[in-house]
Amino acid sequence: MRLLVTGGAGFIGSNFVHYVLREHPEDTVVNVDSLTYAGNLENLRSVEGNPNYHFVKVDITDREGLRPLFEQGIDVVVNFAAESHVDRSILEPDVFVRTNILGTQTLLDLAKEYGVSKYVQVSTDEVYGTLGETGLFSETTPLAPNSPYSASKAGADLLVRAYHETFGLPVNITRCSNNYGPFQFPEKLIPLMIQNALEDKPLPVYGDGLNVRDWLYVEDHCSAIDLVIRKGVNGEVYNVGGNNERNNLQVVKTILKELNKPESLIAFVTDRLGHDRRYAIDATKIRRELGWQSKYNYESGIVETIRWYLNNREWMERVRSGSYQQYYEKQYGDR
């Protein structure tokens, strides 16, 4: 099978590339990434030289740039490429609409034109909006996105649905909860907090810190997507989640405890605009219909993740140079 994986230099995409090359050595992965600030080819250093792995620097909105890849034959498209950070979408929504919606439409057009056997859109639980104290998102929960990021992902999901209904394109959409694990860009909660704690800098926590997310180890997300590629029923949406609800303060306290740092480093900052209060996923469908199971429990997965960042401080240092620094200063000043 020849897979075109977009956004493979990012956090989940690079974990997925490693996963497929390890679990399906007979498959070929063509990694298409435009290498924005979030794309880091160092994540894939260990697979360079693998004859079944190819990297091509192309923007997913560049139809003619993508065409030669489809002409060489593609069986499956897995679209991870996206602008993914909610805070950035509040500052500059334009690029989110361009990449997340127009990029998806470009890929759908090519998938249709070249007759791929599967198109998988990697989406997010954020398209469902926010929950109160109780309840879970199911695949039939109405879409109610609250940030420019989640609105652009919801727009893309609707296009994917429409290409199935209108053109019969064999699609699936996965909607996963928050991921954690190696290679995550240090603007996101867990690597950001680890980095600050290691440097004895304040750990900026939004609002009262009680916003709840349902955390899943990245490799469990990869195994779910892999299963959907191979067994997903065309046209279906599959929610993916680990039943690991934690509020931000709990996550931050675990990091501080593991790194032996004082809780006095926690600094509450003005809440994010439109900050969703709680996400929680009902993943019954993918478990029951495709037999998916998560392997990692949160308690050990988070400790393993903290250790990975500790053991890869050079990776962190290199990522933090350049545009990340400027962005960080804009958001958090001198912290």
Task: Using CB under 6 A, list all residues that contact ligand NAD.
Answer: 6-7, 9-13, 33-36, 38-39, 59-61, 80-84, 99, 103, 122, 124, 153, 176, 178-179, 185
Catalytic residue among 33, 59, 83, 126: 126
Instruction: Say if residues 37 and 10 touch (Cβ distance below 8 Å).
Output: no
Burial of 317 (0-12, 13-18, 19+ CB in 10 A): exposed
CB of 155 to ligand NAD, least distance (A): 12
**Min. distance of Cβ 126 from ligand NAD in angstroms?**
7
Q: Is the separation of the CB atoms in 122 and 225 below 8 Å?
A: yes
Instruction: Choose the catalytic residue: 128, 149, 180, 238.
Output: 149
Query: Closest separation between CB of residue 200 and ligand NAD, Å?
Result: 26
Nearest Cα residue to 36 out of 10, 18, 5? 10
Shortest Å distance, C-beta 148 to ligand NAD: 13
Closer residue to ligand NAD, CB minimum distance, 153 or 164: 153
Nearest to 119 by CA among 290, 241, 236: 236
Report the 3 state secondary structure along 271-285.
CCCCCCCECCECCHH
DSSP structure class, residue 143: P
CB of 289 to ligand NAD, least distance (A): 20
Q: What are phi and psi of 169, to 5 degrees?
A: -65, 135
CA distances from 240 to 270, 274, 275, 282 (A): 30, 24, 21, 8
Nearer to ligand NAD, 203 or 225 (CB): 225
Closer to ligand NAD by Cβ: residue 59 or 265: 59
C-alpha 123/C-alpha 145 separation (Å) is 12
149 is catalytic: yes
Q: How far out from the chain centre does Cα 333 lie?
A: 26
* 126 has catalytic annotation: yes
Minimum distance of ligand NAD from residue 91's CB (angstroms): 15
Closer CB to ligand NAD, residue 29 or residue 265?
A: 29
**Sheet of strand 76-79: strand arrangement:** 53-56, 28-32, 2-6, 76-79, 118-124, 171-176, 237-240
The residue with its CB nearest to ligand NAD is 10
- 3-state secondary structure (DSSP) of residue 40: coil
206 has catalytic annotation: no
Nearer to ligand NAD, 13 or 242 (CB): 13
Query: Of these residues, 33, 125, 187, 214, which one is catalytic?
Result: 125
Nearer to ligand NAD, 6 or 130 (CB): 6
Catalytic positions: 125-126, 149
